[in-house]
Structure 1
């Protein structure tokens, strides 16, 4: 009986340790400035898209890596490569599929853990789109900034970038766009979380009626696994403001691989 009780105690202790680790990894996943390697695959479905009320489909590949540049500073690098299918927005416009433009963001952040983290760095957009309708045909550059905070089970913050085009096809519209994402998450324990992280966009080259994209919504997720944790999430967003030819609401699913220092490799 004593051995049985000891075995039960050890099992319960192991389960609690795993639950605590999953909650810790969930907070790291919610922090874009965390000293961690991440590989996210996000599938996005945009409903009632364009004049035909079709479905726009995009899978985004988003690796992120932290690298030490000195004993006091880290460099966080984030890449966003979209691949998808876009139905024609207006009558007579053809459907398109393939690669979109690639966006790179970087943040210089102080090394070490803190409840408050700030980051600042350059950002670039490369015209890698395989179809003119899927990209800008412009080379763009600008600045990116992010701030992240933690208080008890809550995490919150803001990430923003501003892009201006400086080269590319002369007949295409210039790029002058601001994107900002704010997030608020409540961690529920055992790796579960609920929260919101909408990406708002202001296209300063568009007319006033088509300038803003403002999603409203949220989702739920859970971190599973131990050696290579996975952050699984599902989110839904409707749009308070959206350009005339875009979607009415969106559904997002993603799998994010979280690679801590002892998993595979770090740098």
Structure 2
């Protein structure tokens, strides 16, 4: 009897675990695992490149590279009786080239950014909604003539109550969830892929590929639909400038669709202009313009305008970038935020590319 009870308990526990592991949970776990793998790849590539760069130094004084900007590398352990060689300090030109390359969405720099956004005056109660986008970018060299760039965007959202308590009472809403309660969770995770052929760094640089969005959200933090589409980027980098545009279009593939939630059909266009003053400082404009094609005309577009200032320097032997920005929505749907304040912090690693 005791053995049967144990077996029955184990079976019930297994059924409970199986029910808990819903499709959405499996997708969340899988994508979070992919993020960890990408972080491991970034760290591994950075370590390998640093070791190669250090071991490739000649015994005489190293000559700075004129084609690829190099970040500072750690010293290599020397054998007994050998004298440690001084590290090659990057020149001002190399540092400025590396900073410009980090502003290229498909550049030869692996990036781990943490983008914090405070969206103010959202909803009928004009509340502030915070979200953080964790969006690692990793370039992989397919061949000497082409690269594959993977970008994963994971939004962490803290949705505060969008309605006042008296409004919720008047509407007969008693649940403590949005729009009358708070919720913290993960939004729709996106995977963006770019095929980037070898180009002249002083000419037109471009990349194109598929993108996907996953129903990794809780009930109120995004759409329950699985989407896919195309992304493309084009830019030029003359002198102190880095300017171009990143465009994505995604459509509905699978998932629930009803009158309350239209099928996914969304365009995002992000023109970007960076001017580098030197010594790591830059002034930028990179508004994220959105169009929900299924919405009526006056609810379709969100068009922000603003400005951001940034600095790139080295801390703990790692290049890091910081940005502070403000954007106001000059065109927006009803109840959309009036604008946002953004603070972005990113860790940078140089990665060898095909050009």
**2:136 match: secondary structure:** strand
How far apart are residue 27 of structure 1 and its match? Answer: 0.8
TM-score where L is the length of structure 1: 0.87
The unaligned stretches of length 5 or more in structure 1 are: 1-13, 263-267
Unaligned residue ranges in structure 2 (runs of 5+) = 1-86, 169-178
Other-structure match for 1:11: none
Distance in 1 (CA, whole Å) between partners of 2:289 and 2:257 is: 27
| Contact 2:136–2:152 (CA under 8 A) maintained in structure 1 | yes
Deviations along 1:201-258, whole A, 9 cap, x unmatched? 0000111111101000011001010742001100100111011111111100011111
Quote the offset at 1:22 in angstroms.
3.4
Match of 2:106 in 1: 33
Report SS of the residue matched to 1:82: strand
Write 1 or 2 for the structure with the bigger share of strand.
1
Specify the SS of the correspondent of 1:128.
coil
Matched, 1:194 2:283: yes
Question: Separation in 2 of the partners of 1:183 and 1:136?
Answer: 27
**Aligned counterparts of 1:207 and 1:23: Cα–Cα separation in 2:** 45
SS in 1 for 2:143: coil
Structure-to-structure mapping, 1:99-118, within 5 angstroms: 99-111=186-198, 114-115=201-202, 116-118=204-206
Check if 1:239 corresponds to 2:312: no
Larger Rg: 2
In the other structure, the counterpart of 1:209 is 298
More contact order relative to length (CA 8 Å, sep ≥ 6) = 1
Among 211, 215, 234, which residue is 1:127 paired with? 215
Matched-pair contact (CA < 8 Å) for 2:102–2:108: no
Q: Which has the higher helix share?
A: 2
d(CA) in 2 for partners of 1:42 and 1:102?
14
Please tell me the root mean square deviation across aligned C-alpha atoms, in Å.
1.8
TM-score when normalising by structure 2: 0.66
2:340 to 241, 250, 254: 250
- 1:65-84 per-residue CA deviation (whole Å, 9 max, x = no partner) reads 00012221100111100002
Q: How does 1:134-213 map to 2 (within 5 A)?
A: 134-171=221-258, 172-213=261-302
Measure the CA separation in 1 of the matches of 2:300 and 2:161. 20
In structure 2, C-alpha distance between the alignment counterparts of 1:247 and 1:182, rounded to whole Å:
20
